[in-house]
């Protein structure tokens, strides 16, 4: 069986474009919060496909809903209506408090659409001109050109020359830096209420309220990227709801489909009426019946299975266990995050810790070179957290 794993990896390296430095594991199936490789080895998964598989693997109701939709119709086109998209939009509006929905295939596409809507709104309301966008340092919004242009880690952009649009970068959680950049020509400020790739750093309430005020004073739109921190991960369906600071545009993806590639950008009625019109934006697959059947079932199961309540019950236990590790080991300098979106900051790279953890059956990933990221399925239990802590503790004891 080991030869099978090796052969598959060798074939992949011959056929796939080498844009990932993958771990040397070929995953085969999942159950609950566990993944299994082609050799049958079990791994406790605290990554969830990077905050995607909120409901865990093998959820029977979710799987059955997708099978039923496959037997009806997978795809039509956006020249026609389809019932799952209509239902999914209504459910998403209800849980988000937003007014209009556009379904995409991914989070990066949702960001692209949000930026287009913001610039079109500025051109409509303020008049045509060079309308800039303010983004945050250390942010991450995606790999496509528009999303990359507002991603605040320079190393993601440095190989691609000049980015599209006029983008300025402010310091996250530093309101004065936003105030120094924003003008009447600013189309939008975009930020993550909890930065993911940037280090699991939550925005403060003071910062969010201040940015909201600055946007209102300057006629700029506020865009919240909730792709990773949304869908219940922080104990609220969307992280901004903790403080009630409503954005003008919001992006969602990852756990929105729990494995089916689907994203969305949402907006207020005001933005909807003054931005994208027929012909301004489109997608072949976005909002197709299969993807939207997934969204419908995910949102139904969140309510039926009380996922948000479970996160609020379980997250403090994860925080407690991670904080205990931080207190025990001097090379861990900080625990930070919110809900089931946590990070441990180290004074050194964490790649060896991740590999040793995988050897012992624990899947973790990093956020930056020196931060361990914990984004398990939202159905994770205290027993799962205990198992994770024991494995990680055994690894850290050897560091």
Which secondary-structure segment (H or E) carries 346?
A: strand 341-346
Domain 61-304, CATH number (from 3.50.50.60, 2.70.98.10, 3.40.640.10, 3.40.47.10)? 3.40.640.10
The DSSP letter of residue 256 is G
Residue-level pLDDT at 1: 53
Residues 6+ positions from 219 with CB-CB distance below 8 Å: 125, 126, 184
Mean pLDDT of 220-233: 98
pLDDT tops 70 at residue 128 = yes
Domain range summary for the chain, segments of one domain joined by + = 2-55+306-396, 61-304
8 Å CB contact between 357 and 23: no
| Residues of the chain above pLDDT 70, percent | 99
The strand pair at 221-225 and 201-202 is best described as unpaired
Q: Tell whether pTM > 0.85.
A: yes
Torsions phi, psi for 133 (to 5 deg):
-125, 140
Q: How confident is the model at residue 2 (pLDDT cuts 50, 70, 90)?
A: low
- Considering only CA atoms, which of 41, 138, 51 is closest in space to residue 364? 51
How far is 368 from 138, CA to CA, in rounded Å? 10
Residue-level pLDDT at 165: 77
Q: How confident is the model at residue 130 (pLDDT cuts 50, 70, 90)?
A: confident
Domain 2-55+306-396, CATH number (from 3.40.50.720, 3.90.1150.10, 3.30.70.260, 3.10.129.10)? 3.90.1150.10
pLDDT tops 80 at residue 346 = yes
Mean pLDDT of 163-192: 95
* DSSP reduced 3-state for 85: helix
E strand map for 247-340 = 249-252, 263-267, 332-338
Mean pLDDT score of the chain, rounded to an integer? 96
Residue-level pLDDT at 280: 92
List pLDDT tens digits, range 39-89.
999 999 999 999 999 999 999 999 999 999 999 999 999 999 999 999 999
The DSSP letter of residue 239 is G
Mean pLDDT of 197-219: 97
List pLDDT tens digits, range 262-306.
999 999 999 999 999 999 999 999 999 999 999 999 999 999 999
């Amino acid at each position: 069986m080991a030869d099978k794993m090796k052969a598959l990896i060798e074939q992949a390296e011959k056929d796939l474009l080498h844009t990932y430095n993958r771990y040397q594991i070929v995953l085969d199936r999942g159950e609950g919060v566990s993944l299994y490789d082609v050799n049958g080895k079990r791994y406790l998964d605290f990554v969830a496909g990077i905050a995607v598989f909120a409901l865990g693997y093998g959820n029977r109701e979710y799987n059955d809903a997708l099978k039923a939709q496959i037997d009806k119709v997978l795809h039509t086109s956006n020249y026609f209506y389809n019932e799952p998209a209509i239902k999914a939009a209504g459910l998403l509006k209800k849980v988000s408090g937003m007014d209009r929905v556009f379904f995409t295939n991914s989070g990066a596409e949702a960001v692209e659409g949000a930026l287009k809507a913001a610039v079109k709104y500025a051109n409509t309301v303020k008049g045509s001109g060079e309308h800039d966008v303010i983004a945050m340092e250390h942010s991450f919004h995606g790999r496509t050109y528009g999303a990359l242009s507002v991603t605040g880690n320079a190393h993601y952009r440095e190989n691609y020359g000049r980015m599209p649009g006029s983008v300025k970068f402010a310091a996250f959680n530093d309101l004065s830096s936003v105030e120094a950049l924003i003008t009447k020509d600013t189309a939008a400020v975009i930020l993550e209420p909890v930065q993911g790739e940037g280090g699991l750093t939550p925005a403060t309430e003071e910062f969010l309220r201040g940015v909201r005020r600055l946007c209102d004073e300057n006629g700029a739109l506020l865009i919240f990227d909730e792709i990773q921190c949304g869908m219940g991960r922080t104990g609220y369906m969307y992280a901004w709801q903790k403080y009630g600071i409503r954005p003008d545009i919001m992006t969602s993806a990852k756990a929105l489909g729990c494995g089916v590639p689907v994203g969305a950008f949402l907006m207020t009625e005001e933005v909807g009426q003054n931005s994208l019109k027929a012909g301004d934006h489109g997608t072949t697959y976005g909002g197709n019946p299969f993807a939207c059947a997934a969204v419908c079932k995910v949102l139904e199961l969140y309510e039926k299975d009380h996922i948000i309540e479970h996160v609020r019950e379980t997250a403090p236990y994860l925080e407690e266990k991670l904080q205990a590790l931080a207190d025990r080991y001097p090379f861990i300098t900080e625990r930070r995050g919110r809900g089931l979106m946590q990070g441990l900051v180290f004074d050194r790279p964490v790649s060896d810790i991740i590999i040793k953890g995988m050897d012992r059956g624990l899947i973790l990933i990093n956020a930056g070179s020196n931060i361990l990221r914990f984004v398990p399925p939202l159905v994770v239990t205290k027993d799962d957290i205990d198992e994770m802590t024991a494995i990680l503790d055994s690894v850290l004891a050897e560091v």
